[in-house]
């Protein structure tokens, strides 16, 4: 799994990459960018720069499968590259690593295709045909379930079924896109009939996003042993949630308008190769929990299918900004707390023959850890709004207010390995229209 592209001592001639918190040469995440007056195309983040992928292929700086992978991004989305599968993506990584390394014989030619990230516009990395949100954060499921069923927080299916729902692809937006507070039907217990108006209990959800690579034909399932090879990469995902609208609308069919007003993702696709050093065993299930059914069980997936990735949620409010105070750390969690692996999502989703397509997006579900400081939503942190958070500015928050900004941050670290990050995933809430 690990090769010379992961070597901790590897450095790039792009000086800003060396020691970069997110994008050292060991990361090489893929995205879609444009510069003023040019069309959208694929790029790779290296330090504070973006390298133009189709231009490298056009200039014959790449050959074979790596050139095919780079050229596939010329259409302005990564869907065609995702469809090529793992081999060409891995060839591209190896070639980019060599081209960008310190001492690269091609440095002068490569430099012509580097742009400062501050000068480019980033776009959604893929045309998202379908977006599915899972519910695999078991601490979150227990914390939320406890608010409604104190003695029996998890429903009987939870430990057998990777629970999910079909989300809305059209309203997935890139980091930095401000969203208006949604309006909808609200019916607090104190009122006898619902009213339509701005959400009063607006929340975020800290999630891992999963990009689907090669898909499957309708009617064909993806075996759990092959499932990981259908994942093209990962991102951060904020599943904004209108809790009051959700509480009224969700029975009996589940989330709908409380979720579909917006989902924010980070722009860079962090490849499975970049995350290889941070793979860990799936945590053993507690005594008494059922084993996953055979179609969800694979020894290799259990041995290395989970990811050790630290996740932070930060809140910036108008009051903090006004006083020059830093953002408030709402929670610090880790993807290792997920009850199901990404490969299990793929095997389950396709287990009925449902066809997945390149560029489909999954959300993991809110990733809360076991302690209160690791909760991934305000619903949990404030116990449904009953216990407000007090900020250094003197402000209080039960749920999000207009002007609040949520930042998600991911960081993978391990001794003897170059750490990597995901780049930013942030969004501001504007007043309801
Ligand atoms: Mn969610």
pLDDT per position in the chain (433 positions), as tens? 899 999 999 999 999 999 999 999 999 999 999 999 999 999 999 999 999 999 999 999 999 999 999 999 999 999 999 999 999 999 999 999 999 999 999 999 999 999 999 999 999 999 999 999 999 999 999 999 999 888 889 999 999 999 999 999 999 999 999 999 999 999 999 999 999 999 999 999 999 999 999 999 999 999 999 999 999 999 999 999 999 999 999 999 999 999 999 999 999 999 999 999 999 999 999 999 999 999 999 999 999 999 999 999 999 999 999 999 999 999 999 999 999 999 999 999 999 999 999 999 999 999 999 999 999 999 999 999 999 999 999 999 999 999 999 999 999 999 999 999 999 999 999 999 9
C-alpha 172 – ligand 1 centre gap (Å): 13
CB 148 within 8 A of CB 76: no
Residues 6+ positions from 195 with CB-CB distance below 8 Å: 185, 186, 187
pLDDT of residue 248: 95
At 30, list the tokens.
């893929």
pLDDT single digits (tens) 106-136: 999 999 999 999 999 999 999 999 999 999 9
C-alpha 223 – ligand 1 centre gap (Å): 25
Calculate the CA 396 to chain-centre distance: 28
Q: What is the mean pLDDT of the chain?
A: 97
Separation between Cα atoms, residue 154 and residue 143, nearest integer Å: 9
pLDDT of residue 338: 98
CB 121 within 8 A of CB 33: yes
Separation between Cα atoms, residue 102 and residue 217, nearest integer Å: 43
For residue 39, with 0-12 CB atoms within 10 Å meaning exposed, 13-18 middle and 19 or more buried, which class applies? exposed
Separation between Cα atoms, residue 284 and residue 248, nearest integer Å: 36
Residues with CB under 5 Å of ion ligand 1 are: 133, 205, 239
Scan for tokens 């959400």, then name that residue: 199
C-alpha 303 – ligand 1 centre gap (Å): 26
pLDDT of residue 415: 97
Helices and strands (H and E) in the chain: how many = 13, 26
Residues paired with residue 31 on neighbouring β-strands, in sequence order? 43
C-alpha 150 – ligand 1 centre gap (Å): 21
At 256, list the tokens.
């709908």
pLDDT of residue 1: 81
Phi-psi region of 107 (alpha: psi -120 to 50; beta: other; left: phi over 0): alpha
At 315, list the tokens.
């809140």
pLDDT of residue 277: 98
C-alpha 366 – ligand 1 centre gap (Å): 5
C-alpha 133 – ligand 1 centre gap (Å): 6
C-alpha 135 – ligand 1 centre gap (Å): 7
Separation between Cα atoms, residue 143 and residue 141, nearest integer Å: 6
Closest listed residue to residue 241, CA positions, set 209, 200, 211, 188: 200
Catalytic, 140? Answer: yes
Separation between Cα atoms, residue 172 and residue 238, nearest integer Å: 10
C-alpha 320 – ligand 1 centre gap (Å): 27
C-alpha 365 – ligand 1 centre gap (Å): 4
Phi, psi of 260 (to 5 degrees): -85, 5
**Predicted TM-score of the model (pTM):** 0.98
Calculate the CA 215 to chain-centre distance: 19
Q: Select which of 6, 20, 123, 140 is catalytic.
A: 140
C-alpha 55 – ligand 1 centre gap (Å): 38
CB 312 within 8 A of CB 374: no
End-to-end CA distance of the chain: 50
C-alpha 386 – ligand 1 centre gap (Å): 21
Strand stretches in 18-127, DSSP E: 30-34, 41-46, 49-52, 114-116, 121-123
Question: Cα dihedral sign for 108, 109, 110, 114?
Answer: positive
pLDDT of residue 148: 82
Separation between Cα atoms, residue 351 and residue 341, nearest integer Å: 15
Closest listed residue to residue 274, CA positions, set 397, 102, 138, 417: 417
pLDDT of residue 175: 98
Separation between Cα atoms, residue 166 and residue 362, nearest integer Å: 9
């Amino acid at each position: 799994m690990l090769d010379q592209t992961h070597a901790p001592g590897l450095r790039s001639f792009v000086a800003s990459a060396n020691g970069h918190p997110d994008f050292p040469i060991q990361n090489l995440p893929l995205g879609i960018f444009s510069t003023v007056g040019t069309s959208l195309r694929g790029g790779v983040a290296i330090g504070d720069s973006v390298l133009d992928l189709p231009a490298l292929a056009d200039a014959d700086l790449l050959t074979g499968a790596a050139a095919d992978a780079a050229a596939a991004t010329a259409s302005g989305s990564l869907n065609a590259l995702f469809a090529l599968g793992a081999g060409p993506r891995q060839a591209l990584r190896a070639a980019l690593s060599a081209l960008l390394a310190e001492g690269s014989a091609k440095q002068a030619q490569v430099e012509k295709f580097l742009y400062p990230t501050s000068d480019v516009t980033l776009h959604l990395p893929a045309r998202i045909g379908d977006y599915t949100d899972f519910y695999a954060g078991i601490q979150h499921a227990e914390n939320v379930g406890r608010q409604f069923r104190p003695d029996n927080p998890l429903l009987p299916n939870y430990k057998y079924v990777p629970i999910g729902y079909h989300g809305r692809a059209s309203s997935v937006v890139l980091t930095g896109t401000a969203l208006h507070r949604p309006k909808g039907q609200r019916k607090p217990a104190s009122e006898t009939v619902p009213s339509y108006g701005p959400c009063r209990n607006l929340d975020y959800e800290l999630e891992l996003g999963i990009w689907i690579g090669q898909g499957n034909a309708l009617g064909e399932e993806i075996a759990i042993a092959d499932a990981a090879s259908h994942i093209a990469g990962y991102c951060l995902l904020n599943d904004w949630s209108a809790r009051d609208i959700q509480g009224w609308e969700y029975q009996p069919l589940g989330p709908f308008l409380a979720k579909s007003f917006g989902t924010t993702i980070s722009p860079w696709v962090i490849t499975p190769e970049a995350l290889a050093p941070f793979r860990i065993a799936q945590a053993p299930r507690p005594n008494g929990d059922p084993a996953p059914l055979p179609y969800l069980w694979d020894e290799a997936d259990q041995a290395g299918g989970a990811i050790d990735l630290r996740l932070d949620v930060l809140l910036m409010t108008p009051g903090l900004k006004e006083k020059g105070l830093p953002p408030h750390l709402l929670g610090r969690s880790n993807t290792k707390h997920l009850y199901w692996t990404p490969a299990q999502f793929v095997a389950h989703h396709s287990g009925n023959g449902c066809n997945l397509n390149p560029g489909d997006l999954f959300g993991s579900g809110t990733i809360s850890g076991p302690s209160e400081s690791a909760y991934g939503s305000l619903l949990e942190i404030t116990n449904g709004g009953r216990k407000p958070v007090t900020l250094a500015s003197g402000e209080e928050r039960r749920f999000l207010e207009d002007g609040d900004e949520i930042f998600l941050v991911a960081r993978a670290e391990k001794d003897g390995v170059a750490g990597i990050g995901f780049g930013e995933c942030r969004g501001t809430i504007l007043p309801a229209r």
